[in-house]
Structures are given as C-alpha cells and as structure tokens.
Structure 1
Amino acid sequence: MMHEAESKKKYLIIGGVAGGATAAARIRRLSEQAEIILLERGEHISYANCGLPYYIGGVIQQRDRLFVQTPAAFARRFNIDVRTQSEAMSIDPDRQEVSIRTVDGRSYTERYDELLLSPGAAPLRPPLPGIDLEGIFTLRNVADTDRIKAYLEGHQAKRAVIVGGGFIGLEMAENLHQLGLEVSLVEMAPQVMAPMDYSMAAFVHEELQSKGVALYLEEAVAAFEQVGEGLQLRFQSGATLAADLVLLSIGVRPETKLAQEAGLKLGETKGIWVDEYLQTSKAHIWAVGDAIEYPHPVTGQPWLNYLAGPANRQARIVADNMVLGAQQRYEGSVGTAIAKVFDLTVATTGLPAKRLKQLGIPYLSATIHAASHAGYYPWARQMAIKVTFAPSDGRIYGAQIVGYDGVDTRIDQYALALKRGMTVAELTELEQAYAPPFSSAKDPVAISAYVAENIRSGRMQPLYWRELCEADLSKVALIDVRTPEEYALGTIPGAVNVPLDELRERLAELPRDRALWLFCGVGVRGYLASNILRGQGYREVRNLVGGIKTYRAATTVIQRPSDPHAGAASAKAAAEQPAAAPELRVLDACGLQCPGPILQLRRAMDELPVGGRLEVRATDVGFPRDAEAWCRSTGHRFVGSRSEGGVYIVQLEKASVCAQEASRPVSAGQRNKTFILFDDDLDKALATFVLANGAAATGGRVSIFFTFWGLNVLKREHKPRVAKDFFGRMFGWMLPSDSTKLPLSKMNFLGIGPRMMRYLMKQKGVDSIESLRQQALAAGVEFIACQMSMDVMGIACEELLDEVTVGGVASYMERAEQAGVNLFI
C-alpha cells in the first residue's frame, strides 16, 4: 500500500496532447490523492491530430469530433488542474521548479516532485526566401487546421502544392483533391513514403498519378514568390510551379529547447535522452513522445519515432514509474505506421531494405502479390507485401504492405512478430482465422513467410529487380516462363518465352553454360520452374522476386508533369466513355492473378458479336495496361479504364476483320484534331475539354479555336483593369466574367442549374471545367482565341489566360487542313 506522503506528491506535466494527457489520467488512476498539473501552451488537449487532414477535406465534418476530451471535461473527470495557453519557459532541476508564462503575459513558478516532459515535435519550416508569404502552411495542431480551413473558405484556391511526400503530405493530397483542388506533390527524394523501399513506393506513385496528382520527384524548392494573387515555387533546377496554397510537410524536429536549457542530456539524434524507464539524465524528470530518442529494438541504435501509438504506451509506463518507482522497462518501438492514400492502404513496420543497407546489416527480402481474401469470393483485391529478414537465422527485420483490404490486420501481425524477435520460420506458425470473405486458407502473411524461408534456406535463389536492371544480360539466359499470351502482351527486353508447362519438353533449348534467370507474373511459376531446372541438373538458376509485376512497378519511368502527354491517360479514358453501346457484357475477373483476367477476356471476346462491348472488372493492378496491349496486338478497340476502390474496370469493343486491318498506325497528320468552341454554355465547354483531353492522349497536335461566346471560357477569374469603350463595357456587363459563371444550355434556372451541376460533378468525382482546362494545357492542347471576335466584343489579351495565343481564320484553316478530325461545338 502506498504511504500517505508518497500519495500526495505533486506531478507536473508539460504537454497535453497524446503522451501528456494519457500520463496524467494514468497517474490519477494510480493515486487519488496526488496533485496533478497539466500545462499546455495551446488551447486544446487530447485531440486527434491524425484526423486533422480529414477534417480539412470534409471527411470529418464536425470540428468537435477531433477532441477526445475538452480541458474542462478532462479536468472534471480526473480531478486534474488543466492549464491551457500556459507555456513552460524554463526548468530549474536543482530547485525542482518550472517557470510558466500565460497567454496574457503573466509569469509565475510552479514546484514539482516529479516532472514529465511531453513537448512533442515542431514541423520543419526552412528559412527559404518567401517562406512567410500568405498561403504557405504547416499542419501539426488544431490551430494550423483552423488557419488552413479559413484560408480555403476565404480564397478561391484552385491549385495546391504539397512539399514533402510523407504520410501527412499524402493524406493532405487526397483531402485537398477531395475538395476539388488541382494537387501537385513536390519531393526531394526519388520517391514518396521514405520509410518504404522504392519498389513498394512505386505502387503509391501509380495510384497518385491515376488520381491526377502531379508528381515532382527529385525536386528541391529554392524559394517562394508572390505572383499576382497567387504563389510560385522556384525549384533549384530552375523550374517553377504555380500555386494558390502550399502545405509544407517536409518533416518535424523534436521540441528540445526547454530540456536543453535545463541541462538535460540530448542523444545522438538530438532528441531528449531517456533510460529504459523513460527517465532523463536529471533526477525526477521524465520524458515521452516525439521529443525523446530511444534505441530501436532491431538495430540497438537510438532513433526518433513520431507516432501516437508508442507515445501513448510510453505515457502509461512512465506514469507507473513516476508513481510506483522505476519498475517497468520500455521495450522500444519498431515504427509501425499506416496511411490511406486515395483507394490504397499503405503500411510499414520495422526496417526496409534501403535502411538495412545504409546500416551495413546483411539482409534478404521476399516480395509477394496475394489477394486480400479467397479469390473465388467476390471482390478479392491484391496486396503487395515485402518482408526483410536476416540471412543467418531468418529473424524478421521489417515488412511493408500496399493494398486495399486487410492491410491493417496483416501489418499488425508482422509488427508483433518483429517485436517478439521471431524468425520467418516462426512466422509460418502463426494461426490466422480463415473464411472466404476475410482470408485464404494460406494467408498472405503465411505465404510471405514460406517464400522468405525458401530464399533463406537456399531452396530458391532470389533475383532482385535492381540486379536485373544493372546486369549484363548477354552473360545470362533470361527466361519468361509465362504463357505465350502473356509474353505477347509485353516482357522484359531480352527474354525468351519457355512456358512453365512446356519446360520439361524444351530443356534442350536452355543453355547449360550460362546462368538461367527466370521470371513470371508474381514469382510463383518462376519458383516452380527453378525447382524443375535444379532437379534436371542446372545449378545457376535464379527466380525474379515479386515477378514482372514488381519489376514493372519499380522500373516504370514517372512522367514529368511538364511532359505534354503526362496525365493524358485518365483524360483519354474519360473522353472515350461511350454514350451508349449496342451490347455490353460484364465479366467479373476479380481475385484472379495474371494471366487469369486476360485469358477470361479473350474467351469472352470470342463469344461477343462484332461491335459489342465488354466490361471487365479485375483486381490485378496491371490488368488495364495488359488489356490495352492486348487490344493493340489483336486490333480490338480499347475504350477506356477506371478504378473504383481497388477494382480496375476496363471497356473494350470487338472489331471486325476489316476494322482490325484498319487499326494499323495512321500518319501523323491524321492524328491531329481541331475543335471550334462557339458557345459559352458550361455543358458544351465541358464536353469540349473532355474530348480535347482524350484527343491529346492519342497523339498528334490538338487545337481548340475559341470564337465569339466561347472566349468567355478563357477569361481569367482575377483580371487586371483594362480600358474599354462603351460597347466593350456593355459586353463585359452582359457576359459571364469567367468560367466559374458559365450558364447551362438547358435547365439554367437563373444560375441555379450550373451550381447544381458543379455540385453533382464534385459529388461524383468528375473534374471541374477549370481542372479539365488545366489538364488540356498540361497535355499540350493549343488554345487559340479568335482575333476578330475579341475585337468585336471588346476583350483584351490581358483578360485571357496566359497560355492562350491569338489567331485568325488562317490559323484555324491551317490546322484544320492538317487534322483528321474537326469538330464544331
């Protein structure tokens, strides 16, 4: 039983978010008599900072739901003296006193028996030119969130740039996109998601680009500038990028100033040093959360861990040690994190291969692609899993998962195994619940462990994608063991096709004086083929880990946003969606691994009449690319593709024999297209940009000639003052001032119709006309304003977008004569 003097100790806690509030509540549960004071320099305590991006994006609609506890409710429930807007200015460890300043400027000191530091971390804000301009934000607390919300509501922001590709940056990219903004993401590294290996981050790149996020990788910001009413980012490369709002998400640093000035020891990573009981270098002072460094359980080296879960666990342990004496040791964190990135779920725990390489720790890795649940049960979706482990004993070092369903449950299993020091062999002993809607009889976690143990034990000699990229292929035999149909859809350059099921009969075709490097779709057939060949006496046989799926993801070149054809694929799909089809059949290929979807597609197309359309739904991320390649090789028409929550939907149209013959490449001139936009109706302008984006995706030059009322679509939203005569001013009064004021050709209802249309477009995820217009410009579509129409209507060049050129009828006729398609809208 606790002595009375001990129970009446005074506990002072600095920092009232995750660690501080949790520790305060735990101390109260341990001692009803203790005096507890909680200091927080902000207005709020115990709020869900991980939910802030979703409040900005409108997913969380009520601001109050961000708060786990209000200061008043927390104080009443736990009988704690909660003092918000009170900042600790200095600590005197010898006198056991803290100097405090309140928001109104009052200063005082408070004595303590035990002091807990939970100051958190502050977002990095580098001293770049223009960093303090209006519209540049960081996101760390509720006050930051309120400022961003207010700015979005008070400004008609259309372009957002996120600097930094970490978890918060990607979550903000999704949520700002949800609000209808054009989003660009700038990252100094060659990939987003720094805690992951490049091959896994590549799947995230693919998802971001499919949603219209422009990626600027390996770009560093040199300065921010004010340009008109907007902002401009200037990169060290010399390139520039326009924005209305900038969010800095380039990392955080521990808040250690208070501790350092008090003479507390800082560690190697400049976090507050703590021992295994979470006590600092000074007696009666403890620390938890983002500000402390602690040895990593795998490497034993100190590191900084900015995660809420470990902070809350530390808080419970330190509360026990502060009240009951140093008894409970903290085991450390392996860094388990998860994020939603549009439709994807991305998770990681432990150490990726690149970090192990930096530390000089020998490692092996295994990558698999497996369905989230039984493939025969509807809506099975694929996940990519990569596990790193020790070559000697198979001890697990880390795991990464990118997928749609079931990622959270799997990453938690890896995290538990990692913290318990388990090996990949022991990972196979985990018992997972199985029912078709939730898993397979062989769960992906177990499969990854089996593959890893095969690699570690030498039953399979691994070939990694980087090795393949860097190798001299003239010295090896590269064998594609997939089916001829898969091989025809595209392979790795230099590969010879010897299907797995024909391998034993075709051994004579394989050289014995060179190493044999095998690959298939995801690695399974390559492993089976390697077993056959090793059984037949071949010794140097290696199998590509993760198959061609991982290889393609990791080696696909990310198109620069400045590329005029970047982002055109999604526009192409939108433009080519049919208004109606003579016959549409639906094929469900969800849950099937490659080549299953393609094989089913081929059989279904054989049964389809000429002109009929087939819609195929698959969960294989590479299926849209394979389907398009199949259409090119067979002459059928690839109508378009889209994705919905990890399901890839492709439409194809069956061509006649004559049409297949006519599908041969056309001349450059025939690929050119021109459009005349005569009207300023919202619906007609929308159709124009959708078609133009689709045309740009097919290659060739695309031009839009804006004449008479169509010029209103090109007007700037914020125009400079321009001197006009009476008729020019009259036209200005009568016509829409810019694209946001365009009417509908039908159901306008004095402006109610366009607002309703824009609302429905946003709800359905349809890009705004302004977004489609920008996409067209980015895709290289030429905008020409009719000089005669401008003169008649009194429209000056300064009122139009910068990218617009001015021309006359001769300019249009030149382009029309060189085009295969001319449309008047």
Structure 2
Amino acid sequence: MAKYVIIGGVAGGATAAARLRRLDEHAEIIMFERGPNISYANCGLPYYIGGTITEREKLLVQTPESFRARLNVDVRIMQEVTRINREEKTVEVLNHQTKATYTESYDKLVVSPGAEPVKPPIAGINDPAIFTLRNVLDTDKIKSFCDTRKPSHAVVIGAGFIGLEMAENLHKLGMNVTIVEMASQVMAPLDYEMAAEVHQHLKTKQVEFYLKDGVSAFARKDERLSVQLQSGREIETDLVILSIGVRPETTLVKEAGLELAENGGIKVNSYLQTNDPDIYALGDAIAFPHPITGKYVNTYLAGPANKQGRIVADNIVLGNTRQYKGAIATAIAKVFDITVASTGLSAKALKREGIEYISNIIHGSSHAGYYPGALPYTLKILFQPKTGKLYGAQMIGYQGIDKRIDLIATVLLNNGSIYDLQDIEHAYAPPYSSAKDPVNQAGYVAENIITGRLKNINWKDVSQLHAANICLLDVRTPEEHALGHIEGSLNIEVDKIREQLDEIPRDKKIIVYCGVGIRGYFACRILMQHGFEEVYNLSGGYKTYEHTTCKQSNEDIFESSYIAKDDHIYRGKPADNASIDNLVKTFEVDACGLQCPGPILKLKTEIGKLQPGERLLQKASDPGFMKDVQSWCNITGNKLVSVDSNEGIITAVIEKAAPKQVANMQGIPVAAQLPQNKTMVVFSDDMDRALASLVIANGAASMGKEVTLFYTFWGLNIIKKTHKPKVEKDLMGKMFGKMMPGDAGKLKLSKMNMLGMGSLMMKKRMLSKNVDSIEDMIRTAIDNGVRMIACQMSMDVMGVSAEELIDGVEIGGVATYLEEAEKSNLNLFI
C-alpha cells in the first residue's frame, strides 16, 4: 500500500489529496497543515471583512472532519513539518497543540508551502493596529479590530489586487481610506495607461492615494498610529493593512536541498517534480517556465494551484503521464464599480524581455448600444508586429469583462494570434454583446495595423514629439473640442475633412485623434487616400490620452473631513445648528440614456430654473459626462459640489452661482467688454449640415452664450412647419415649393443620400444612439433662447411666406444679422 504525505492544504494541497484518493482508494494519505484550516476561500477574505460575505462558515470549503469522512484522508491540523529527510524519506513534525515532535515516513511527498506576505524591517511595524492578510486567522483579527474599535480611517500599504480589494471593503465599512504605493501606478500587471483609468475611478470614490511614495516608519500618537512617508508626509490613522506583496515560502525545501530557481521559487519540471523524483511541488511557491518567455516565474493564483494539484496526483498514481503547460497569470479584480482584468504579458514586461510588440487600445460598450444599460469598457491587446501572435491583454469596464479576458486567455495559452480573435464565435444577443464582440473588434483593428491600413501612435509618444513637426488633428465635434482637447490641436470634424483638406498641412506628421479612436480611423483612411503620407491615429483616442496625462494621485483629501449627524463623512467644516440635509435645497434630474451633448444641454436647462445657491443633482450614463460637467462648471462659473460614479451611472451635484460682477477701474463688468455671443449663417438645407449647426448652437447655449442663427436661401427649409397652412403663391413660388424639402423631416444628406435611404438610415442611427431628431433639436434651441432669424430677402426670392415658418422664428434682414455679429466672438457660415 502506497503512502502519500502532503505538506500544506488550501487550493493546491487539498486538491492533490482529494484527487489522490479518487485514483487510489487503498493508499494511506496524510495531510499536514500548521494552521486550523485546511481548505478555505482565501480570495473571499476581503469580502468577509467588508460584509459582502456575511457568514464566516461559507469561507471554509472543507473542514478536517468533512475531509476525513468523505475522502478518508488523515488530516493533521496545527501540525507543522519542520524538516524533510530525503535520504530516509521521512518528515519531522511539530504538534503546536502538544508541543511534541515526531517523524512520519512517505513514499511520495507533495510540498505546497504557499507564499508569505512581505513584511519589511520598518520601525514600528509590529504595532497591534498593523495587519497582513493571508489566511482565516488574519481575517478574524482584522474583522475583530474593525468590529470592536470602529476605526474611521485606514491606510492600505500597497496597491496590488488584494490591496485594492481591501481598500474597497474598508471603504464599504464607512472608513476614509488612504492607499500608499511605492510605484507610479496601482496594479503592477497593468500598463500605465490602463492603470491610469483605475486611478481616475478611485478619485470618484473619494479614495485618497499617494503614488511614488513609501513608508519610512510607524509611530504611536496617543490613540492613533502615525504613518510616516518617505516624502515627509505624515498620515494619522486607526488601522493599517500591509499588502506590499508576497514571496515563496521555501525555507523548508531549501534546507532539504531542493533546487530553487533564480526568482526564489521551487524549481520543478513539466511533471511538477523537484530535483528529487519522489518529491513533487505545487502552488504559490513553485517556479515554472513562462509559456511565452520561457523564464522561470511564480504565479500567485488559486486557479493554477488547483490544476497543478490534479496533475501531481495523476503523475504520482499513474506515472508521469501529464505535463503542466504553465500559467500566463490571467487575473481579475473588482475595484469598486469597475472590473479590472489582465492576461499574458504587459508592455513593460515585453520591453524587459526584449520582445518586439505592437499594442492597441479600443473603447466600446458592454453590449449593443441600442439596448438599454450598455456600459463602457477599455481593452488593450499586445501582439507580434508581423505574425500577429498574441502576447497579452488588459481590460477594464463594468460588465462582461470576465468572459472577454477568458476568451483572449484561451487564445493566448494555445499560442494563438490576433486572427484567432477575429474568428471567435461568441454568443450574441443585444443584452449581452454586439454582433462584433469587443474581442473580434480588437482582432480587426490589430489586422489593420499589421497590414499598414492604420498607423498607430500611443499617448506617450505623442507627448514627446516636437510640436513644430506635427499637426494634431481633433476630428471630434466643436462641442467636444470645447470641453477639452490636446493643446495646439486643429479641430476639423471627421465629416468635414474632405471639404477642408487644404487646411491640413502636408509637410508635417499628422496625429489624428477623436474620443476613442473610431472616428480617428475613418479620418486617417480619408487622409491617407488623399495623398497624406505621415498619418497616425492616437491609440485609445482622447479618452486614454486624458486619463494618462492628467494628475494621477489623489492626496490630502481628508484634511477637512468630519462626520455629520447622518453618519456620513463630509469634507469642509460642519455647519452650526443645521443638519446637512437642510442646508441647501436640491433638485434632481435624470439624463441617463442621453448622448453628448445631451446631458450638458439638460444641465443648462435645469440649472436655469434654479435660484443662486440652490443645487441640481443630475444623473447620466454617458461616461463623458464625468469630465464634461467639470468643464461646463469651469466655463459657466457654477460650482461642482461633487461628481461620483456608481455602477456606470454618473451623479453630479452642481450649485448655481450668483452672476459674476467682476468690475474694472471704470466700474464696467470685465465680461461685458468682450464679445461673447455666437452667430451662424445657415445657408444649406443638407441634413448633416443642419445637424451640425444645431449641435453647435445648443452646445454654446448650454454654456450660457447668446446664439443667433440666420437662415437664408435653402437654409429656410430647415425652419418650415411640418403642417403648413395653405398660402397663395405665384408660379415660381409654387415651383420652388415642389422642388425643395417641405420641412426639417424631409432634409437630405449631403453625401450618400441614396435617394433618401441615407437620410432614413441616419435617422434610425440617431434614434438608436439616443440623439435628438432635428425637429427636437430645433425645439430645444428655441427653449434654450437661441435666436432664429429668417432672411426676408431670401424668403421673397424663394417664395416662402411667414405663415410657413415654425413658431418662434423672427423675420429680419442683413442689418439684424450684422448687429448680432458685432456682439459675437464666433461667426460661422454653414
């Protein structure tokens, strides 16, 4: 009868024991565990502390009693193997309960010692308010501290996956949370631009965090703990979680003479054998060649440990028949509202290994945009420039992140390429995906790059280029450009590029960008096919550029915080004799489902109904609203009290400001000295041009500007009534009436109208994207105070009578228009 001894339980050791029994009913199996628990959900520990998992027993996957009863495994808890005698094939064991020691023989030995938290020799690190999180015992200590001491502030040292999960769960308990991270970013497996998106999300949750800073010492200050940083800052707190990292716990095997890899892990072959053929190793402590680089690495994940346990058992009982392929470190974490996932190698890892690669970033929605509830995602893939061999991927979003990263990981582990991403057949229905899933889309874009149809440039390269040698071309709408853009960029909307090619220099490198990259790609193709040679699309668009170039850290946000009567933490000084709820009158409005600039227009309309000092709470699902509302407040002078994101819904609180009266020496308001109005001459009745004029007008009106639209000649067709009264016309008037569009609903596209099919497609597209119709935009413009003037001379020539125009339109001449133009700093001809 064979005798198998296993050192260590949890994912790897417990799995190996269970598989051994299923393969060999008659073997003697002994499992040693120095703690009280043999199999527990270590990944669930932060969520038990935070209260998401309410029952401690649910963390315990198996107990020693259940393991013995079902598997007939001799489980010995609170007993630690202190030495391995390879020649005698025995282990020495210390019983922590009786303090007795003894030896146990084995035929085959499995070692699964795991990893231990890094605890550097910092002064004061043994303070009772400083904790690490590795097992259930650690969890119990933290949970008891939180329940009994009721800490109001916590510091998390280290911003890896576990550190951020702990930050979220402590935040959920009502604490102010500060994160301290030595690196320049959170979550080391991510590339910087992806981590930057996590940084911005942490800001929306009012999490304080310090990057590129470390702890120099801990010291007691009365009832609080002082965390002293290397930068000189000092943070007073009640609780500290050390999450600096882990390292393989290999003291036992090292003393036994088992070979270690350069990174400190237990070196194993493809059968998971050590250099002793009777000793197998698995779990966090082992080092195995990476499937891509071939270099020995550690993988601190439960999934690979479970797989290794099964392979080890098969090889022990059946002979060395199964080989381990290695792990590509596919990982995922919930960080407040977003999901962050990665697989394979990052750009910095590829650079470190000297592997040539290309990367690309795409943004999109979790499912079909026309189905309610679609939320944004960001996906980055890395691949070989010529063959398209896949190297890695990172993804951030709200829904469906797990299934996409799993698909990519499967392709990657099977040595696949970007072409395999294109071929993936996914389950599709509007609530779950789009006909072209994000994974397919990433493959298509990668092919465009490999074939040369698209030249990509990343945010970092753009920031390092000399401005005199490049032309930054923003192909978004003027409204988007006004709310934020790369400094020095030329703004030509993508649909206007063909008409404005002469404005784009041919002797410079053209860097095209839009919001997320799609319109930029269209613009690049247009320019390249019109003879522009050096044309590049900004990977990830302005969204990625803005995330990476703005301030990353979030320091000193708790300096003036206090707890009010409603038990919430507020910034600033508490008000006297009044609760927070009664301080300010607040009105709520829902702008979910509206696309840019819809939420801002809604904001402008609703804020106009308030009195100075009153507040508006507005919700929106457009991810751009998070930034747009800040820009809008900066432009208009209103106060942004707060902006938050919860499960993809952005909530902003805006306080209406009193009219500014900044006076100069003569007593005249400064703002009154400068032209502020906007005027447009609308000459065309093309549907797309009419849309552009109304979008610009409504965008300017939302910022408090006075806007005048002067309709002349064919532009008059835009402002005709749908149901017009009968009017007497001469012969020419009747002929013009039959040849021209009868109202805004009958306008044609300037390009690709296709006998009316194009305009019908455009209307359906606008409807699916929650973009207002032209008729609704006209009504919104009038409601927002946009002045619409019909040219009297043009009306006479075209045979249009006043009765045919929609209500609210004025009739005037050139002088009326010129009077408004004199007051304007922007005058457009459309």
Whether 1:625 and 2:624 are equivalent positions in the alignment is: no
**Cα pair distance change 1:582/1:221, threshold 3 Å:** closer
Cα-Cα RMSD = 2.7
Separation (CA, whole Å) in 2 of partners of 1:438 and 1:523:
23
Which residue number in structure 2 is paired with residue 55 of structure 1? 48
Which residue number in structure 1 is paired with residue 709 of structure 2? none
1:377 to 354, 361, 371: 371
Give the drift of 1:265: 0.5
**Cα pair distance change 1:274/1:447, threshold 3 Å:** same
2:447 to 453, 477, 493: 453
Report if the CA contact (8 A) 2:50-2:170 is conserved: yes
1:617-645: CA deviation from partner (whole Å, max 9, x where unpaired): 43443322112313443567757533221
**How do residues 148-159 of structure 1 correspond to structure 2 at under 5 angstroms?**
148-159=142-153
Which residue number in structure 2 is paired with residue 598 of structure 1? 597
Which residue number in structure 1 is paired with residue 521 of structure 2? 527
Separation (CA, whole Å) in 2 of partners of 1:198 and 1:260:
36
Separation (CA, whole Å) in 2 of partners of 1:153 and 1:607:
44
Give the drift of 1:105: 1.2
Q: Which letter maps to 2:632?
A: W
Report if the CA contact (8 A) 1:634-1:660 is conserved: no
Which residue number in structure 2 is paired with residue 669 of structure 1? none
**Cα pair distance change 1:638/1:124, threshold 3 Å:** closer
**Cα pair distance change 1:84/1:606, threshold 3 Å:** closer
Give the drift of 1:614: 7.4
Unaligned stretches of 5+ in structure 1? 1-7, 591-595, 666-825
Separation (CA, whole Å) in 2 of partners of 1:428 and 1:578:
56
Separation (CA, whole Å) in 2 of partners of 1:199 and 1:664:
44
1:468-506: CA deviation from partner (whole Å, max 9, x where unpaired): 111111211111111111111111011111111110010
**How do residues 729-768 of structure 1 correspond to structure 2 at under 5 angstroms?**
none
Report if the CA contact (8 A) 2:558-2:571 is conserved: no
Whether 1:645 and 2:647 are equivalent positions in the alignment is: yes
**How do residues 336-735 of structure 1 correspond to structure 2 at under 5 angstroms?**
336-562=330-556, 585-589=589-593, 596-599=595-598, 601-602=600-601, 605=604, 610-611=609-610, 617-633=619-635, 640-650=642-652
1:327-362: CA deviation from partner (whole Å, max 9, x where unpaired): 100010000111111111111111111111111111
**Cα pair distance change 1:150/1:610, threshold 3 Å:** closer
1:571-610: CA deviation from partner (whole Å, max 9, x where unpaired): 59x99999887975532226xxxxx322464378569974
Q: Which letter maps to 1:25?
A: A
Report if the CA contact (8 A) 2:603-2:618 is conserved: no
**How do residues 198-209 of structure 1 correspond to structure 2 at under 5 angstroms?**
198-209=192-203
Whether 1:13 and 2:17 are equivalent positions in the alignment is: no
1:30 to 1, 13, 23: 23
1:62-116: CA deviation from partner (whole Å, max 9, x where unpaired): 1111000111111110011000011111111121111111112111111111100
| Bigger mean CA offset, 420-429 vs 617-626 | 617-626
> Helix, strand or coil for the counterpart of 1:64?
helix
**Cα pair distance change 1:565/1:375, threshold 3 Å:** farther
Q: Which letter maps to 1:535?
A: Q
Separation (CA, whole Å) in 2 of partners of 1:333 and 1:15:
21
**Cα pair distance change 1:96/1:134, threshold 3 Å:** same
Separation (CA, whole Å) in 2 of partners of 1:173 and 1:128:
22
Q: How many residues align?
A: 650
1:483-540: CA deviation from partner (whole Å, max 9, x where unpaired): 1111111110111111111100101011111111110000011110000000000000
| Bigger mean CA offset, 397-406 vs 600-609 | 600-609
**Cα pair distance change 1:364/1:14, threshold 3 Å:** same
Report if the CA contact (8 A) 1:10-1:36 is conserved: yes
| Bigger mean CA offset, 600-609 vs 233-242 | 600-609
TM-score by length of 1: 0.75
Report if the CA contact (8 A) 2:366-2:377 is conserved: yes
Give the drift of 1:558: 2.9
Which residue number in structure 2 is paired with residue 767 of structure 1? none
> Helix, strand or coil for the counterpart of 2:307?
helix
Give the drift of 1:560: 4.8
| Bigger mean CA offset, 9-18 vs 240-249 | 240-249
> Helix, strand or coil for the counterpart of 1:627?
helix
Which residue number in structure 1 is paired with residue 95 of structure 2? 102
Unaligned stretches of 5+ in structure 2? 563-568, 665-830
**Cα pair distance change 1:533/1:603, threshold 3 Å:** farther
> Helix, strand or coil for the counterpart of 1:20?
helix
| Bigger mean CA offset, 628-637 vs 128-137 | 628-637
Identity %: 50
Q: Which letter maps to 1:645?
A: E
Report if the CA contact (8 A) 2:421-2:442 is conserved: no
Report if the CA contact (8 A) 2:342-2:393 is conserved: yes
2:157 to 163, 171, 174: 163
Report if the CA contact (8 A) 1:197-1:354 is conserved: yes
> Helix, strand or coil for the counterpart of 1:536?
coil
Separation (CA, whole Å) in 2 of partners of 1:664 and 1:615:
32
Which residue number in structure 1 is paired with residue 303 of structure 2? 309
1:776-824: CA deviation from partner (whole Å, max 9, x where unpaired): xxxxxxxxxxxxxxxxxxxxxxxxxxxxxxxxxxxxxxxxxxxxxxxxx
**Cα pair distance change 1:114/1:584, threshold 3 Å:** closer
Which residue number in structure 2 is paired with residue 770 of structure 1? none
Separation (CA, whole Å) in 1 of partners of 2:450 and 2:535:
15
Give the drift of 1:453: 1.8
> Helix, strand or coil for the counterpart of 2:596?
helix
Give 1 or 2 for the bigger CA radius of gyration: 2
Whether 1:333 and 2:327 are equivalent positions in the alignment is: yes
Give the drift of 1:214: 0.9
Report if the CA contact (8 A) 2:224-2:236 is conserved: yes
1:82 to 75, 79, 84: 75
Separation (CA, whole Å) in 2 of partners of 1:283 and 1:664:
87
